[in-house]
Amino acid sequence: MPQQYNQVKAMLAITSASFRSIFRSPSAVVFSFVFPLVFILVFGFISGNSRLSIRVAFDKATDTTSPVYQALVKQASIVVMHENETGITEALEKGRITAVISIQKNPNPGTAPWTISIKTSEAVNPQNIQVLESFINGIIRNINARLFPPSPTIAVISQDIQKVKGRTYRTIDFILPGQLGFSLLSAGVFGVAFLFF
């Protein structure tokens, strides 16, 4: 008695035959599996730029007459982002900038002339915040030594660092979707070729 035709078995047989034919072609294996995997591994572990560069933005209420501000913007390792408040907030949430710095004149006469506040995000590497604080502290020490030897300090960094919620983006987050797309493209091209074959 003849067996009844089964659509699922037929689909599985065609799929199995397609996979066997793909794995028998060296170029299909290389361009669909090996090349994207090697590409992801190589570029996923490359850290990118070797030069230290910290991207920051300044709060719109920052006192630009402060010597600390003027010294910070002259630093080669500090890249200042000039955008509107919405763009700065979005960049901070995505971790594209390390922090938003606010330098305010201190109204109390017995304390340091300026107070520096730092606002950062959970998406930012904590080491970058420590490096930024070290930069600012170094600038404050230099200004103190030059201009304010008798006074205790020209500015203090507020220990209350504000943090906004954000997602951590890594290099692999940008490379992986591209490689998956490349693999799908390769599979589509080779799939058409196998259909013609």
Kindly state whether residue 99 falls inside one of the protein's structural domains.
Answer: yes
For 73-87, the pLDDT digits (tens) are 888 888 888 888 888
For the chain, what percent of residues have pLDDT higher than 90? Answer: 1
For 135, the enclosing helix (H) or strand (E) is: helix 126-146
Q: Give the highest mean pLDDT range of 20-34, 76-90, 102-116.
A: 76-90
pLDDT at 111: 73
For 127-150, the pLDDT digits (tens) are 888 888 888 888 888 887 777 666
In 3D, which of 169, 164, 162, 81 has the Cα closest to residue 121?
Answer: 164
Number of Cβ within 10 Å of residue 99's Cβ equals 25
Kindly state whether residue 46 falls inside one of the protein's structural domains.
Answer: no
* Distance in angstroms (rounded) separating the CA atoms of residues 186 and 117: 51
The rounded mean pLDDT for the chain is 78
Burial class (CB in 10 A: 0-12, 13-18, 19+), 11: exposed
pLDDT at 141: 84
Domain hosting 167: range is: 54-171
Kindly state whether residue 136 falls inside one of the protein's structural domains.
Answer: yes
CATH assignment of the domain containing 112 = 3.40.1710
pLDDT band at 37 (very low <50, low <70, confident <90, very high): confident
Kindly state whether residue 26 falls inside one of the protein's structural domains.
Answer: no
- Contact (CB, 8 A) for 54 and 132: yes
More confident residue, 172 or 140: 140
pLDDT band at 21 (very low <50, low <70, confident <90, very high): confident
Tokens of 163: 């943090």
Kindly state whether residue 89 falls inside one of the protein's structural domains.
Answer: yes
- Residues 6 or more apart from 139 whose CB is under 8 A from it? 68, 71, 72, 75
* Distance in angstroms (rounded) separating the CA atoms of residues 61 and 158: 16
pLDDT at 160: 67
Tell me the torsion sign for CA atoms 146, 150, 154, 156.
positive
pLDDT band at 108 (very low <50, low <70, confident <90, very high): confident
Number of domains within the chain: 1
Kindly state whether residue 107 falls inside one of the protein's structural domains.
Answer: yes
For the chain, what percent of residues have pLDDT higher than 70? Answer: 79
In 3D, which of 118, 126, 147 has the Cα closest to residue 57?
Answer: 118
pLDDT at 151: 58
- Checking if the pLDDT of 50 tops 60, the result is no
pTM exceeds cut of 0.75:
no
Kindly state whether residue 36 falls inside one of the protein's structural domains.
Answer: no
Kindly state whether residue 119 falls inside one of the protein's structural domains.
Answer: yes
